[in-house]
Amino acid sequence: MANKCGACGRFASTSDSVKCIKCSLSFHKHCVKVSSDARISKWYCRGCKPKATCAGGAAIGTPSSDGSTGGTDTEFTDALVESADRGRCEDDFAKDIKFIREQVTTILQEMASFHQEILKINKNIGDLSHRVGDVEKRVTMLEQRASDTNNLPDASKMEETIVELKNQLNDRDQASYLTDIEIANVEEIKGENPLNIVTLLATKIGVPLEERDVVSATRTGVRHHHDNVSGAEKLRPRPLVVRLARRTVRDQLLRAARVRRGADTAGLIAGAEPRRFYVNERLTRTNRQLFYKVREEGRRKGWRYMWTRDGCIYARRDSNTPRLRIRTDEDINKIFGL
């Protein structure tokens, strides 16, 4: 708010005036012959100047009407230097505040985008759950009908329909795992932090993860027992199931795991012995059992390649033969000649 100048009586803005710290009167800078760009923290008017002294007894320098000061030139110069330094500090502080605001704005925008992606994923999962529920109802109904019509001529056709519906249900379940991976053979420690373990393992294979990249990370399955070399009973570690925010992150992790095959947990988990860990895409129980059978038969028959991609199971005898997709146990019998 503007004040009246104690010299000319006109209104003076705060930026264009100086204020006496003794009598609180304001003066135009040009009325008291103070430079317009000078910033003085302490200033006394002509009337108050003789009464104000510094700690050593010398009067504080104040510009007068004839251009002279009540103190020495050195004192007034030091005041100007101090005020100029303060001005630079204020400018730097303002720049820092502006930079922080820009960073906060960017973070808020990224969080909003991430929130939208999570909402889309949840919506897709909800839709898949509804569809899976419908298919389960249809399978239950058809199984009930099949139990009542086993002796009818079209019983075999009914069984084929049930098998087909079960396959569809399995495919829908697998589709809900498109952003999931499974990390096996990582020692399980009481009170562990699965999210932290996943982040360390990802860094080990060259893919740095942020917390926003991981939707969830947890151990799944039942804790089984097995005997180690010394004969003592030891717990088998349950696999870590990780749901990622984006499918591209999952694919990046799987590629890195293939490149760095043989990586272990040395130096990552305190108090745990180093173990070689394995990163694979997550499969449904049906596909996991089917893939186990494919690998066993493939090794027995001398096939070189058995793998999964996006939940689908493939096999190839060697690099010169075409790949074959395996959906059911019947496909295993046909392909491996059982």
* 27-42 residue pLDDT tens: 888 888 888 777 777 8
The domains found in the chain, sorted by start residue, are 180-281 (3.30.70.1820), 285-336 (no CATH)
Q: Rounded distance, CA 143 to CA 49, Å?
A: 104
pLDDT band at 76 (very low <50, low <70, confident <90, very high): very low
pLDDT band at 155 (very low <50, low <70, confident <90, very high): low
Structure tokens at 195: 């999210």
**CA dihedral in degrees (159, 165, 168, 169; nearest 10)?**
-120
At 15 the three-state DSSP class reads helix
pLDDT at 89: 66
Buried b (16+ CB within 10 A) or exposed e, 211-230: eebbbebeeeeeeeeeeeee
Residues 6 or more apart in contact with residue 229 via CB below 8 angstroms: none
pLDDT in tens, 163-191: 888 888 988 999 999 999 999 999 888 88
Instruction: Note if the pTM is more than 0.85.
Output: no
Helical segments of the chain, H only: 73-148, 155-175, 194-204, 247-259, 285-301, 329-336
